[in-house]
A and B are shown apart, each in its own frame.
Chain A
Amino acid sequence: MLRAMFSKTGDAVWISHLDLMRLFQRAFKRAGLPLTHSQGFNPRPSVSIALPLSVGVESHCELLDFQLDGVEVPVEELRERLNEKLIPGIRVLSVYDDGMKLKELGLLRCEVVMEYDRPVPEGAGESVRALFGRDQLLVEKKGKNGVTEQDILPMIRSLSVEASGDAIRFQAVVCCQDPSLNPMQLVAAVERYLPELSPVYKKVSRMELFDKNGQPFR
């Protein structure tokens, strides 16, 4: 099994998870790199992407697992050949064959930007920091069984808040597997408890993955 770490930025962030799988299947084919296929009635090339990314979210650390069918290509060449056949916004950063087990994946460093039509009011940074300094922070979560409330604080390992110009920025390390916190929930907390600071636009970026002990995950 080979693993590619890739970024998804720019206009490509609007491509859905399923469409992205299809896009990679075609990129492999264009690059002349045959993939192994699933068995069964309707064989499909087997590629899998860990931690599906929400539409609109940017990432610099996506993982794609795949297996080549009957050919061996040096990993650096694989990276180059794929990048030649991909679209703007999707870039393979590295390819390797000794990736860690996905179940060891635990933490994600992310950036969240909340944008406003006017300069951020004075004291906004303090209010937001105070919000995340509470003992408990219940935020609504939409799941299969309807809307439930969850306390997001235990899933935030570190958080810094910076308010300047017309934006408030979070730098955070959050849990991303068992349990996982969607970084968008940081914004949801602000919208719920500090409605006057509800942004006109919010942008989330995945920056870096770690294992459960905080060591870089690859």
Chain B
Amino acid sequence: MTQLLNRILPLVQKPARYTGGEYNEIKKDLADVRVRVAFCFPDTYEIGMSNVGMRILYGVMNQMDGVWCERVFAPWGDMEEQMRQHDLPLWALESRGPVKDFDMIAFTIGYEMSYSNILNMLRLAGIPLRSSERQGLHNMVFAGGVCAYNPEPLADFIDFFCLGEGEEITPEVLDLYDRAKAEGWTKEAFLLAVSKIDGVYVPSFYRHEYAEDGTLEAVVPLVDVPAVITKRVVEDLDRAYWPTKMIVPSTEIVHDRANLEVFRGCIRGCRFCQAGFSCRPVRRKSADVLFRQAKETLEDSGNNEITLSSLSTSDYRELKELTDRLIPYCAQSKINLSVPSLRADNFSRELMEKLQTVRKSGLTFAPEAGTQRLRDVINKNLTEDEILTTCANAFSGGWNNVKLYFMLGLPTETDEDVLGIAELVYKVIKTWKEHAVNKKRGLRVHVATAYFVPKPHTPFQWEKQITPEEYLRRCKLLKDHFYSRSIEYDYHAPDLSRLEAVMARGDRRLGEVILAAVENGAKLDGWDEYFRYDLWLDAFRSCGVDMDRYTTRGYSDDEILPWDHIDVGVSRGFLLRERDRAYEAQITPDCRHGCAGCGANKLLKEVSCDA
């Protein structure tokens, strides 16, 4: 008789994402395995398999003797329905074994709107959701990723968090678990021991106390654990593990290509950007190592495309050396080299032209704000001149498609700033009229505005989010000033960003809310097909938690923030200084023009910050 999963597969969309069996998938003999890790990505296969962090840690864990790390993704709604109907618990791809049979369950969390998926995946696996309901070492749930920098909304569900980069901390944690399992430790003994590993945060060892007005009053360690937990970083990226034998999906994923990370950290300091601050300090990787890894990855995977990734690839010091070697190699092997997030500087323009010989991609800018004043406030150092010059070059080179991304609701934003977006767009259209070589094909300017979400560990971490009504008013104001038929304007409903803002700066009181929402059916919130704002509003109402507390209220700077006991390297003093400069519309030059003293270099012992 055909097994249950195979009987269900014909009934769901894209069944190949549920079977595993891809090239370079790692299988081990269970007889040799002491620690089974179910590595869960709280979104679909197509998203999760595009995630570089997951690829790295999959390799890191499977390199370990006695450890088998397998992948688990969130099922799409049609599959979930079949699973519930047939009582089929969530499984891992490699062995097809049920997740509840695994020793450890790891989540990588990069997006606040995947919190419901974490709980839903545990539920589909048949694992108790609350940490306190799981006894013993079996099914130990831990998590990492950028969202772990404010772990509190998930504190009730995750046994411990690993903060920062996972290459080194993950083997330390797994070795400890291996020993604990062999020696039959209790869960408490393991958690106490794991809390001694640098970068590990065990939420159940801390009590959060709230004042009568609802603000956080104290975070009290209940046992001998550090008062502040500092994230981990890898110092020498040249020697760090990099997966050159990547799993090659047999079905199309979002980023269906090889991916090479050229450096870590960011020298820019855009004041709204969480990654820009929380991924510091800057650590280099040499062009030699990168070229070798690119070649190995491409030869091994057979991919016909490779992306050079980082937070700002133009700032990679050896970009010229690397591309001088990669461009001829890729051209000869008919491989498309893509270099996203290039800045509008001269070298990048030249590079864009060279890359064109392989394939021409679109032109995208993220000025984020419409006026120079507001761009100075957010320290987005992209001038109107740079945008228009790059556009002029591109238009005379035959491009006729531009995407422009902005945010609405940035601190200090006025209607003048909003209308500045319309003005900038008209200047782009005017530039096209002056420089386009083929006007018959017309111009498309795609404009998108997002609703600003203040994030922890940024200079804007204390800011108020504007109300959804005010956001929509600004969208409409902008829309009313777009007259040209060349403009396509997209703005999202504010619901998702409001919820994202709540989760991003939330505290432990949100645990109840997430649980209630998931019990009412919340899942796949990042997908329009599934996002149900009403379920969330009901959950907040029934738990008596006020969303505005986390959004429009803002945080005062003498208040304890829910993430104050998490240290990502950048100091609070620096963030406050940056906030004050923002209010004065003072830019802070990038780190290469002089160290601004963010403090993240204290995380390095062997090397210094390479900004």
Contacts and interface: CB of A to CB of B under 8 A. Distances in A.
Interface of A: 10-12, 14-16, 18-19, 22-23, 25-30, 32, 34, 37, 42-43, 45, 55-56, 85-89, 115, 166, 200-201, 203
A14 B256 CA distance: 18
Query: Which secondary structure dominates where chain A touches chain B?
Result: mixed
Nearest to B96: A11
Nearest to A200: B7
Contact of B15 (A23, A43, A55): A55
Given A16-B251, A27-B302, A166-B1, 18 more contacts: A14-B18, A14-B19, A16-B14, A19-B251, A19-B252, A23-B250, A25-B304, A26-B23, A27-B23, A29-B304, A30-B23, A30-B302, A42-B359, A87-B22, A115-B2, A200-B7, A201-B2, A201-B7
Contacts of B1: 115, 166
A118 to B, nearest CB: 11
Interface of B: 1-2, 6-7, 9-10, 14-16, 18-23, 248, 250-252, 256, 299-304, 333-334, 359
Nearest to A116: B1
Q: Nearest 7 A-B pairs (CB), nearest first?
A: A26-B302, A29-B302, A30-B302, A14-B15, A11-B19, A11-B21, A14-B16
Contacts of A85: 23, 302
Contacts of A11: 19-21
A20 B455 CA distance: 42
B187 to A, nearest CB: 36
A10 B1 CA distance: 14
Nearest to A43: B334
A23 B251 CA distance: 8
Contacts of B18: 14
B595 to A, nearest CB: 45
Given A55-B15, A87-B22, A87-B23, A26 B251 contact: no
B303 A26 contact: yes
17 contacts: A10-B21, A11-B20, A14-B16, A15-B251, A19-B16, A19-B252, A25-B304, A26-B301, A27-B302, A28-B302, A29-B304, A30-B23, A34-B334, A43-B334, A55-B15, A87-B250, A201-B6
Contacts of B304: 25-26, 29, 45
A11 to B, nearest CB: 4
Contacts of B251: 15-16, 19
B300 A30 contact: yes
A55 B15 CA distance: 8
Contacts of A23: 250
A87 B9 CA distance: 19
A134 B9 CA distance: 33
A86 B23 CA distance: 7
A19 B2 contact: no
A15 B302 contact: no
Nearest to B251: A19
Most buried by B among A14, A86, A89, A203: A14
Q: Which of B16, B22, B299 has most A Cβ within 10 Å? A: B16
A87 B16 CA distance: 13
Contacts of A86: 23
Nearest to B252: A19
Contacts of B7: 200-201
Contact of A30 (B20, B252, B301): B301
Contacts of B300: 30
Contacts of A43: 334
B29 to A, nearest CB: 16
B86 to A, nearest CB: 11
A203 B22 contact: no
A217 B482 CA distance: 63
Given A27-B302, A56-B10, A115-B1, A88 B21 contact: yes
Contacts of A42: 359
A56 B9 CA distance: 8
Contacts of A56: 9-10, 15
A55 B20 CA distance: 16
Contact of B250 (A15, A45, A200): A15
A22 B303 CA distance: 9
Contacts of B301: 26, 30
B302 A12 contact: no
A25 to B, nearest CB: 7
Contacts of A88: 21
Contacts of B303: 26, 29
B82 to A, nearest CB: 13
Contacts of A32: 299
Nearest to A57: B10
Residue among B15, B23, B250 facing the most chain A CB atoms (10 A cut-off): B250
Nearest to A44: B304
Given A55-B15, A200-B7, A89 B248 contact: no
Contacts of B6: 201
A48 B508 CA distance: 56
A18 B299 CA distance: 22
A166 B23 CA distance: 35
Nearest to A167: B1
A28 B248 CA distance: 13
A89 B252 contact: no
Nearest to B360: A41
A34 B304 CA distance: 12
A36 to B, nearest CB: 10
B21 A87 contact: yes
Contacts of A15: 16, 250-251
A115 B2 CA distance: 8
